[in-house]
Chain A
Amino acid sequence: MLEIFTLTLLTLFAITSVVAAYLAIRERDLVKAVVYSAIQSAMYALIYYVLMAPDIVLVYIPVSVGLIPAVLLFVIKKTERYEGD
């Protein structure tokens, strides 16, 4: 029972991350794309947590949800916000 629950959780997180990744690629507003990318990373962090790798979770959450979006936002501020045709 527990195994089925764990696997269902994993599947849900993985599918959400796929949806977020697709939306991040499709989005023309780069700031929104960064937010989608952060959602995808948060799902990955949850997957690591369910797979019992708390050390990775502790480094993955600040780096992928905090620092990488911050770097990307800084970089977007230096260029254009909307992707052209």
Chain B
Amino acid sequence: MKKADVFVIASIIVFILSLAYITALGGLGPLPPINVRRIAINYLNLTYNTFTPYLTVFALESVTSIVWDFRGLDTLYETAVFYAAIIASIALYRGVYMDFKKNTEKTGLSPIAKTVTRISLILIPTVSASVALHGHLTPGGGFQAGSIATVVIVLSIIIFSRYFLPIHGLSKNKALLFRSIGLLGIAITSIALLLIAIVLGVNAYIFQNQAKIDAPLSFPSLVDNYILGGSLLFFNLFEFIAVAFGFTIVFLLLSISEEKVKKVTMDG
């Protein structure tokens, strides 16, 4: 590092610290209140509250409750944006096919790196499954678990080779199939109670989790003393599948060699 760099970094730090000091003194407008706001108090009160059975979620994790129940539709549309982006990347790579090269022994990094990665290939999916399936009890959820699981895909592409996943049966089309199953699961979970209500002839809402005053149906929230959080478990599980395989598609497409992609996309 040069002397000039040190000087610039020091001056940036001094600038930021003085800006923080001015902000803390209230020089850049009024400071936000430090006590808990009313909407937050309501969320915290209603996340798991057996005394208000028509308003609660019956899940222990308030963030997941907000994401998939209180503000469920917001999350659905965010999910839709993410999947539209993946569809766009698939459309960009249309006509490009992944090649299968049988011998993967000589490709990839050293045997040390491969052995370490083989251990993580089991450990990381275990962590991601626990994050997904416990998302309604402890911090975590579908998107978190899906992105953790994708690290395995990236590792196996970089450490072994880009032929490793297709040879072991995870092609782009299969990932697309699993992603669609995840999306379908989210869609069915969001209207499941509505469909049952139409059959039974009672009232229900889209994205309904627990029973409301005028809508008596609800997802199971407690099975054998185990808190399920109603629809949150299903949403987390399907979002996990959809996100993990959505990212997998992107990385499989990115790993195709540039010459091949250029040949297909430039020649039309």
Dominant SS among interface residues on chain A = helix
Decide: A71 and B254 in contact? CB cutoff 8 A: yes
B223 on interface, CB distance cutoff 8 Å:
no
Q: How far is the CB of A4 from chain B (nearest CB, A)?
A: 14
A67–B63 Cα distance when bound, in Å, is 23
A70–B9 Cα distance when bound, in Å, is 27
B5 on interface, CB distance cutoff 8 Å:
yes
Give the segment of B45-53, B139-147, B187-195 that binds chain A. B139-147
Tally of B interface residues using CB under 8 Å: 27
13 extra A-B contacts, CB within 8 A, seeds A15-B13, A70-B154? A14-B16, A18-B9, A22-B8, A23-B5, A58-B148, A59-B144, A59-B147, A62-B148, A62-B151, A66-B147, A67-B150, A74-B251, A74-B255
B25 on interface, CB distance cutoff 8 Å:
no
B80 on interface, CB distance cutoff 8 Å:
no
Chain A's closest residue to B141 (CB) is A55
Decide: A54 and B139 in contact? CB cutoff 8 A: yes
Decide: A67 and B247 in contact? CB cutoff 8 A: yes
Decide: B251 and A70 in contact? CB cutoff 8 A: yes
User: Which residues of B12-27 are within 8 A (CB) of A?
Assistant: 12-13, 16
Which residues of A are found within 8 Å of B131, using beta-carbon distances?
58
A26–B6 Cα distance when bound, in Å, is 12
Q: Which of A18, A54, A67 contacts B147 (CB 8 A)?
A: A67
Decide: B158 and A19 in contact? CB cutoff 8 A: no
Dominant SS among interface residues on chain B = helix
- Interface, chain A (partner B; CB < 8 A): 14-15, 18-19, 22-23, 26, 54-55, 57-59, 62-63, 66-67, 70-71, 74-75, 77-78
Which residues of B are found within 8 Å of A59, using beta-carbon distances?
143-144, 147
A45–B13 Cα distance when bound, in Å, is 20
Given A63-B147, A67-B147, check contact A26 B5 (CB 8 Å). yes
A78–B12 Cα distance when bound, in Å, is 34
Decide: A58 and B9 in contact? CB cutoff 8 A: no
Decide: B154 and A66 in contact? CB cutoff 8 A: yes
Decide: B139 and A55 in contact? CB cutoff 8 A: yes
Decide: A70 and B140 in contact? CB cutoff 8 A: no
A78–B253 Cα distance when bound, in Å, is 13
Chain A's closest residue to B128 (CB) is A62
Which residues of A are found within 8 Å of B144, using beta-carbon distances?
55, 58-59, 62
